[in-house]
């Protein structure tokens, strides 16, 4: 029978020892701070894209353009008296932000050729904007010369929006592929990181206990299984604490920073795709993604950390440890590098299998969920996960209880196998 109060003491120690460490808080705050900086940076960039105001001095011999070229945020048109362009071109040599635009007389029905002088070759956005503005003015002139109404012409110009639709059994869904893929990739990678980072904490913790020989004193009062589970659960709670803090902090930063970013992107009207992402983010089922994430974090972590625990208990030195931890980590690494393949084709048989095998599902299923997974697959994968970690913890406990007291001998797989049958 398990003694819950003792497991409680062990969990408490394992948790507090780690949470009190400076490195824990450093890492906990570093990520949101980086994220905050990223948001802050893009806000800053939005306010000042790093380009000084540019002034285009217009010498208009055609007389059509006066006042009609539209300024943009960084580009201003200034109309100058014709005939003085030579002096201006002399002055240009001193300033990189001054340009001279010479528009000759031309027939409104013919092509237009203008000259743009700059100290250095003008940035593309300047020449592009100049071109667009001139074209607009000439077009308007031509329309007027035909005697047509401006508004009628505008009404002829249709606005076209292509909305991708995804057909599923349940009907037609709004496609959110870019946003969803991003979320899928991040979630899969995060879970890979979590399982690895916290699995290694268990590995190191048990190795330390074995090395400094405290374990026997403890084992005279608690069962090996209780000690192992206490450690695994304690470390898991550290992981969840860190994750929750991240969620809260990042959500906080997002709420403060994102409206600003959205507002700016609206003003700039430039990143239509970005806007799409922002809009479609809201269509993802975040509670489901988060729930599945936490479930597979716990499941994958229990699976890997129990096996790591068995390894740490069995071997004496770090070098021998690798012989066992490397093969154990390979499936997880394969899962990580296959995230992209799964995102590209979330319902391929490769993806489905990878999200069923418990050694890869903590990464794969988490990556698939934001892209849409049939419910039955999710449920089967979860059941396999639960059955697997129950099995691995049982297996690990059997090896752990013998291994933790063995010193000085090199351990082979055969030996581990034999330990399973020791009384």
Partner 1 sequence: MNILEVKNISKTYGKKKVLNQISLAVPQGKIYGLLGPNGAGKTTLIRIINQIIASDEGEVWFKGSPMTRNQVEKLGYLPEERGLYTKMKVGEHLIYMAQLRGIKSLNAPKVVKNYMREFDILDWWNMKVEQLSKGMQQKLQFIIAIMHSPDFVILDEPFSGFDPVNAEFIKNKILELKEQGVTFMLSTHRMDSVEELCDHVTLIHKANKVLDGEKHKIKSQFKTNKYEIIYSHTSRPVESETPVFQIISNVKNDNPDWMTLTVSLKPGRTVNELLHYLLDMTEIHAFRELIPGMNEIFISLVKDVENE
CA distance linking residue 173 with residue 169, whole number of Å: 10
19 near partner 1, rule: CB under 8 A: no
Residue 213 CA, chain-centre distance (Å), reads 42
Provide, rounded to whole angstroms, the least separation between the CB of residue 26 and partner 1. 17
Dihedral sign, Cα of residue 274, residue 275, residue 276, residue 282? positive
Q: Which stretch binds partner 1 (CB under 8 A): 87-95, 105-113, 215-223, 355-363?
A: 215-223
CB of 46 to partner 1, least distance (A): 47
Torsion of CA 289, 290, 291, 295, to 10 degrees: 100
**Closest separation in Å from C-beta 333 to partner 1:** 31
Contact criterion met (CB below 8 Å) for 385 and 299: yes
Q: How far is it, in rounded angstroms, from Cα 246 to Cα 252?
A: 10
Half-sphere exposure of 95 (CA within 13 A, CB side): 15
By the rule CB under 8 A, 418 interacts with partner 1:
yes
Residues 218-257 contacting partner 1, CB under 8 A: 218-222, 224
**Per rule CB under 8 A, is residue 13 in the interface with partner 1?**
yes
Q: Which of 4, 146, 217, 255 binds partner 1 (CB under 8 A)?
A: 217
Site string for partner 1, 386-415 (x = CB under 8 A): ---------------xx--x-x--------
Phi, psi values for residue 10, rounded to 5°: -65, -45
* Closer to partner 1 by Cβ: residue 6 or 166: 6
Q: How many residues bind partner 1 (CB under 8 A)?
A: 27
Q: Minimum distance from CB of 318 to partner 1 (Å)?
A: 17
Which conformational region is residue 269 in: left (phi greater than 0), alpha (psi within -120 to 50 degrees), or beta? Answer: left
Nearer to partner 1, 10 or 335 (CB): 10
Stretch in the footprint of partner 1 (CB under 8 A) among 24-32, 75-83, 169-177, 209-217? 209-217
CA quadruple 9, 14, 17, 19: dihedral sign: negative
Are 309 and 400 in contact by the 8 Å Cβ rule? The answer is yes
Candidate segments 35-43, 78-86, 211-219, 312-320, binder of partner 1 by CB under 8 A: 211-219
C-beta closer to partner 1: residue 137 or 227: 227
Interaction of residue 189 with partner 1, rule CB under 8 A:
no
Name the residue nearer to partner 1 (CB basis): 376 or 421.
Answer: 421
CA distance 332 to 339: 11
Pairing of strands 75-79, 54-60: parallel
User: Which residue's CB is nearer to partner 1, number 285 or number 409?
Assistant: 409
**CB-wise, 10 or 310, nearer to partner 1?**
10
- The CA-CA-CA angle for residues 30, 35, 39, to 5°, reads 145
Q: Are 62 and 88 in contact (CB under 8 A)?
A: no
- Pairwise CA distance, residues 388 & 365, whole Å: 15
Which CB atom, from 73 or from 208, has the smaller least distance to partner 1? 208
Binds partner 1 by CB under 8 A, chosen from 111, 168, 212, 349: 212
Q: How far is the CB of 230 from partner 1 (least distance, A)?
A: 10
* DSSP of 37-94: HHHHHHHHHHH--S---EEEEEEESSSS-TTTSPP-SSEEEEE--TT-HHHHHHHHTT
Question: Which of residues 13 and 70 has its CB atom nearest to partner 1 in the complex?
Answer: 13
Which of 148, 214, 288, 420 binds partner 1 (CB under 8 A)? It is 214
The smaller minimum CB distance to partner 1, of residues 41 and 394, is found at 394
Host H or E run for residue 17: helix 4-19
Binding residues (CB under 8 A) for partner 1: these are: 1, 6, 9-10, 13, 17, 209, 211-222, 224, 401-402, 405, 407, 418, 422-423
């Amino acid at each position: 029978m398990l003694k819950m109060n003792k497991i409680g003491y062990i969990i408490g120690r394992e948790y507090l020892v780690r949470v009190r460490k400076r490195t824990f808080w450093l890492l906990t705050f570093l990520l949101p701070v980086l994220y905050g900086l990223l948001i802050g940076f893009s806000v800053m960039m939005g306010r000042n894209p790093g380009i000084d105001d540019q002034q285009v001095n217009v010498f208009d011999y055609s007389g059509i353009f006066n006042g009609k070229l539209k300024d943009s945020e960084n580009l201003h048109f200034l109309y100058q008296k014709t005939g003085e362009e030579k002096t201006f071109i002399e002055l240009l040599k001193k300033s990189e932000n001054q340009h001279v635009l010479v528009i000759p007389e031309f027939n409104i029905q013919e092509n237009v050729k203008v000259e743009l002088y700059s100290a250095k070759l003008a940035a593309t956005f300047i020449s592009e904007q100049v071109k667009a503005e001139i074209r607009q003015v000439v077009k308007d002139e031509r329309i007027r010369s035909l005697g047509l109404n401006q508004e009628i012409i505008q009404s002829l110009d249709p606005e076209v929006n292509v909305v991708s639709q995804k057909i599923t059994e349940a009907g037609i869904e709004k496609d959110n592929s870019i946003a969803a893929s991003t979320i899928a990739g991040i979630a899969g990678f995060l879970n890979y990181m979590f399982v690895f980072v916290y699995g290694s904490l268990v590995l190191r913790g048990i190795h330390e206990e074995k090395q400094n020989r405290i374990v026997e004193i403890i084992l005279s009062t608690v069962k090996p299984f209780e000690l192992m589970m206490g450690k695994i659960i304690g470390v898991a709670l550290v992981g969840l604490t860190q994750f929750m803090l991240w969620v809260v902090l990042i959500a906080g930063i997002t709420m403060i920073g994102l409206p600003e970013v959205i507002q700016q992107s609206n003003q700039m009207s430039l990143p239509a795709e970005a806007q799409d992402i922002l809009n479609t983010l809201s269509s993802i089922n975040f509670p489901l993604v988060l729930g599945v994430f936490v479930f597979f974090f716990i499941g994958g972590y229990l699976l890997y950390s129990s096996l790591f625990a068995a390894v740490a208990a069995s071997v004496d030195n770090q070098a021998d440890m690798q012989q066992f931890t490397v093969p154990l980590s390979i499936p997880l690494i394969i899962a990580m590098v296959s995230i992209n393949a799964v995102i590209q084709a979330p319902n391929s048989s490769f993806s489905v299998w990878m999200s069923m095998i418990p050694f890869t599902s903590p990464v794969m299923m988490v990556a698939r969920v934001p892209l849409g997974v049939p419910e039955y697959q999710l449920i089967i994968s979860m059941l396999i996960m639960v059955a697997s970690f129950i099995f691995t913890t049982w297996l690990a406990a059997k090896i752990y209880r013998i291994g933790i007291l063995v010193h000085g001998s090199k351990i082979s797989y055969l030996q581990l196998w034999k330990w399973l049958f020791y009384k």
